[in-house]
Structure 1
Amino acid sequence: MFSKMSAKHIRVFLLFVWLTILFWQTQPLTLIQEYAGFAFLGLLGAIFANATGAGGGVVFVPFFNQLDFSVATSVATSFAIQCCGMTAGALTWSAFYKQLKASNQPESAYWQPLTKVLLLTVPSSFIGLWMVQINPQFFAHFSDPTSLHTGFGLFSIGLAVTIFATVFLLSNQSFTTRLSLLDYIALPFIALVGGGITAWLSIGVGELVAVYLIICRFNVTFAIAAAVILSALTVWAGIVFHILITQAVYWPVVLFAGAGAIVGGILAKQLVLYFSVKNLKLFFAGWIFILGITSLPI
């Protein structure tokens, strides 16, 4: 009861903070008229991101492309929105894990590797992210919009094909609960590469880690939750660069899309628990494949 009341109080507090920020602006009604629609974008992106483990950039970047945002603005704004939505999702999944442990449900056994997975991936993800962000030559090379859209499209298509393959190759429901020696080696490397990709595309590390865990026969819900928590921590580590260095965050969009993303991050868990594992993965892969195709500059 106390935890429920605490969660309710936190949500009321966040609503109060959001309203304070909104009406602190010089023309709040104009902002509502011009940017309120972005709340739905944030809601959609966060539900998808926190229900699949993919970063919200899978939704945000193609949409910003249609609005002719610059590369820097697209990536920076996507990071800022994900700081809202992925954090809400990470807290929701963490609370779900605590409930499983407290009630001694059999499924809680599948979540035993969570702490180890995060310890193996979070530091490596940060290193990969910062290595790319502080390399001026990298950003000079990839600041071309065509490069961003091509990289985003190819990465998304490859990811979708991999997930489609897991649906048919991993048909049984026997899940592992222990990390192997290979996992201890592979997870830091995958997170390092994923962190670098995330710095460039605003997506990457959560998707790669989630797919790896699924292929290695870990519980799908656990894999999604681990990827969401990892992604949340990674975008927070990366947003500082965009606030202080690129200064490219489009804050009016973040104000509304971020609010929608918080709601979506809270609701996403119910979507995962409602659908079957197979249908969830097919939906995940199909959506990413479509976005990947539409992102290619053809």
Structure 2
Amino acid sequence: MTSFIKRNPGKKLLLGTLLCAWIILLLAQPSTLELIKDYGLFGGLGVVGAIFANATGAGGGVVFVPFFNYLLFSPQSVVATSFAIQCCGMTAGALTWATYFRQQHRHDDYWKALPSALMLSVPASICGIGFAQYSSQSTRLLEQFWGGANNLHIAFGSFSILLAIAIFASIPLMKRTHFEKDLSTKDLVLLPFIGFVGGIITAWLSVGVGELVAVYLIIRGFNVTMSIAIAVILSAFTVWSSLPYHVFISDAIVWHVVLFAGAGAIVGGMIAKYVVLAFSVQRLKLFFGMWVLILGMTSLPIF
């Protein structure tokens, strides 16, 4: 993070402003010391969740959802609070990845599919979020597949296990040294479809679209790091599009958690890129796949 600031002196003002705003907001709360005692450790959770999210392309909900379930948050609060935290962490990560693309890979043939992939997947994902949150048909689908929002832990566990299998299956493909450069005709159809379905799943579980798009692009043979960058930027747009519903309609966000975990998520989102570049992508994916598999299995009622 220090190197990030040194290489981007213009960011000092922004970071300083955010820090001052956070301190002012914290001090404006009643019983500040008691608040820090009760919720301060959520800052660490935010850092860890954002690093996982922005270093692998998966949403931070993979970390936040099972933790909030363990704390017995209501199903609505689990998803809403996870989205609010991800708005902080995924935005920081998306800006970091976008800067990296613009400065390092703007003229790289292996990265030239990034803008097109985002144009195909972002609007579709936002439409999927909107359908899931505002359509009565979405509620019926959720009840039909998983028995409603009260079975969130089952839905999350099932999705996590499938995601882990897909991650493991994609690991051998990461050893490629030559990658696809251009989107094909089938990508023009499948990316919006995956984005829409992933948006629906994300609205239900707080995870989904970033993971699905990243795995798809890796399997298709695109650059792994670029696939992660696309997934992070896509997830940032997706979680922001979901937030108004939870702020104005569901009113289920636990803001005291967001105050600390969101700040931690910004830090994690900024340093996650350096984690990806410092370690083997295969090892990151293997570790992340094992983490997701364990979380998924322990979320099911049979364990």
**Take 1:252 and 1:184, find their aligned partners in 2: how far apart are those partners?**
42
Are 1:28 and 2:29 matched, yes or no?
Answer: no
2:51 to 28, 47, 50: 47
The alignment-based identity, stated in percent, is 55
1:248 partner SS: coil
**Root-mean-square deviation (CA), in Å?**
1.8
User: What TM-score do you get using the length of structure 2 for normalisation?
Assistant: 0.93
Q: Contact 2:68–2:78 at 8 Å: present in 1 too?
A: yes
For these two proteins, the number of residue pairs brought into alignment is 294
Decide which of 254, 258, 263 is 1:259's aligned counterpart: 263
Could you tell me whether the CA contact under 8 Å between 2:131 and 2:138 is conserved in 1?
A: no
Any conservation in 2 of the 1:214–1:223 contact (CA below 8 Å)?
yes
Amino acid at match of 1:131: F
Quickly say closer, same or farther: Cα 1:99–1:77, change in 2 above 3 A. Answer: same
The answer to whether residue 172 in structure 2 is matched with residue 168 in structure 1 is: yes
Q: Specify the code of the residue in structure 1 equivalent to 2:200.
A: G
Q: Which moved more, 1:135-144 or 1:28-37?
A: 135-144
Deviation of the 1:26 alpha carbon: 1.8
Q: Secondary structure at the match of 1:238?
A: helix
Find out whether 1:133 has 2:170 as its counterpart. no
Stretch deviating more after TM superposition (5-14 or 275-284): 275-284
| Equivalent residue number for residue 65 of structure 2 | 61
* Deviation string, structure 1 residues 239-287 (Cα, Å, up to 9, x no partner): 1000000000000000000000000000100110011122122122111
| Deviation, structure 1 residue 118 | 0.6
Secondary structure in structure 1 of the residue aligned to 2:9: helix
Is the Cα–Cα contact under 8 Å of residues 124 and 191 in structure 1 kept in the other structure? yes
Q: Distance in 2 between matches of 1:255 and 1:136?
A: 32
Would the alpha carbon gap of residues 169 and 91 (structure 1) be closer, same or farther in structure 2, given more than 3 Å must change? Answer: closer
Q: 195-204 or 23-32, which moves further after superposition?
A: 23-32
- The residue identity in structure 2 corresponding to 1:237 is S
- Shift in Å at residue 172 of structure 1? 2.7
Q: Deviations over 1:10-47 (max 9, x none)?
A: 11111011011111112211111110000000000000
Q: Give the Cα–Cα distance (whole angstroms) in 1 for the partners of residues 82 and 281 of structure 2.
A: 28
1:1-298 equivalences in 2 (<5 Å): 4-101=8-105, 108-136=108-136, 138-139=138-139, 141=143, 144=148, 147-168=151-172, 171-298=175-302
Q: Is the 8 A contact 1:84 1:262 kept in 2?
A: yes
- For 1:236 and 1:143, how far apart are their aligned partners in 2? 27
Q: CA deviation at 1:168?
A: 2.9
- Which residues of structure 1 form unaligned runs of 5+? none
The CA deviation at 1:4 is 1.3
Q: Is the contact between residue 44 and residue 261 of structure 2 (CA under 8 Å) also seen in structure 1?
A: yes
